[in-house]
Chain A
Amino acid sequence: MAESAAGMMTERVLVLASADRAVLGYVRTVPGLRVAEAAGQLWVRGLPATGELPAAARRLPAAAAYALDAQNRLFATGQLTPTAHLPDLAWLPIQEFVPLELPTAALPGQARLRYRVRLVPSARAVAGSALLTTLAAWLAYVETAPEIRLRHLRFAVAEDERVLVLGAPLPPLAGQEYWLQEGMLLPAGFDFEAPLLAPLLARRLNPAADSLVVFVSNGRWEQVLTSNLVPATRSAVRRTAQSFSHA
């Protein structure tokens, strides 16, 4: 009897709470589904009358499941007696009822493109263009260095008495040597993980081209305004050192 009743069934119908509207996305691609909403419930029809439900449909949190016959009577699962008639609803194909939406950022106007700069060891040998050393070492060198060795150098001093010396040939002092790429100073023996990004990075970090971007090997950087670089004369270095000793 049950089999004969099942043989009269035309389709199956599921009922969900309206609050579960989002889960209909699971079955959006199941062919032939139509959906209607009424009295806080979502009605889904078009599922095959016999056999297993599609896997996606089985994931739906259905509050009730019915078999529907040709007279639009609803039979609860396994029951031979109809319990109700299918309501007269405005059915929509599920693709219309659950339209696709492009995801949008929560704060689209404020999102910033971020690129974490990574430096990696490089096999490329490039001539050094700058040296980071200490004010004490720099002063000791300048006191006795031949003038010809100073003539091509410029320098800037940080508050913590680190000295950046630029030019060639660089002084033979202990310190971190740098090479120059697109106005950026990279530690000797290191290069950007993505070297092709160097021009872009230079424009982003130094848009006015008024400074040198000095990197350390962990990818951090600091900027030195080119206007702060002064010719490496003995008097300039001595007076700078004196100003620090009086500070």
Chain B
Amino acid sequence: MLITSFLQDLLTTGSITLTGRPTPFVPDDLLAATDLLQTYHAEDAQQMPHSAPAFDAPAALWAARLLYYTIQLTLVRELDEAVIAQALADFTADLTPEVLYSADLMLRYLPDLLRLAKGLAPGDALVARLQALARQWPLSFVSSEMPDPEAEARVLVHPALRQEYVDRIIRAQDRRRAGQEHLRPLVQAALGGHAATLWPDFQAFTLLPTDGKHAD
């Protein structure tokens, strides 16, 4: 199975077929996949507020492989923690806005897989690994695990990522995040004077004191 074919299926039909154990990809395949991801980045950037961060090929490719292996590991449940740790390794370079956005192009599909994996086996190693990723990549995991403050701060420092993050919180009606003291003003500003129409119970739940755990 080529990662290029995987990406083409994912981005054009939304339907993919994977079998077998995780295996490394050949260089030509990775090069073609990089071109595909760059094209996708250019299209997606048209929807981003402000100016989207530039394309970072290593981050986008790392995320594509991570997504591919996560799907594979979700299907092949008998794989052990060592395989999971190796296949779903962290991104090792600096987490710049370019990295956060380029990786997000693929990581944004992971919350659905996390929900699926939780449903299949709530306590297994794959779920734990995805939950750790969720804390590290908050832009991609809105409405999932609450983020590490440092990871979230990296998102909030860039205007495009910050606006996109707030947009996703509102789209997902993520009450836990919207209720956070540092995020509430951002959500309120986005809703403007139309909060009662756009998010009818926003005022009600943000008036309640929250410790970040029980706002929903």
Contact = CB atoms under 8 A, between A and B. Distances in A.
A97 to B, nearest CB: 79
Contacts of A149: 190, 192, 194, 198
A169 B47 contact: no
Given A148-B167, A148-B171, 20 more contacts: A143-B50, A144-B159, A146-B49, A146-B163, A146-B166, A146-B167, A146-B190, A146-B191, A147-B49, A148-B170, A148-B191, A148-B198, A148-B199, A149-B194, A149-B198, A233-B47, A234-B46, A234-B47, A235-B46, A238-B46
A146 B163 CA distance: 7
A234 B163 CA distance: 13
- Most chain A CB within a 10 A radius of its CB, from B43, B46, B50, B194: B46
B196 to A, nearest CB: 11
Interface string A124-160: 0000000000000000000111111100000000000
A235 B47 contact: yes
Could you say which interface size class chain A belongs to? 10 to 19
Contact of A144 (B163, B192, B197): B163
A144 B190 contact: no
Contacts of A235: 43, 46-47
A148 B46 contact: no
A203 interface: no
Interface string A44-64: 000000000000000000000
A149 B192 CA distance: 9
8 contacts: A147-B167, A148-B190, A148-B199, A169-B193, A234-B46, A235-B46, A235-B47, A238-B46
Place the interface of chain B in its size category.
20 to 34
A239 interface: yes
Interface of A: 143-149, 168-169, 172, 233-235, 238-239
Contacts of A145: 49
Contacts of A143: 49-50
A230 to B, nearest CB: 14
B48 interface: yes
A169 B46 contact: no
Interface string B43-80: 10011111000000000000000000000000000000
Q: Which 9 A-B pairs have the closest CB atoms?
A: A146-B190, A235-B46, A147-B167, A169-B194, A148-B170, A235-B47, A234-B47, A148-B198, A144-B49
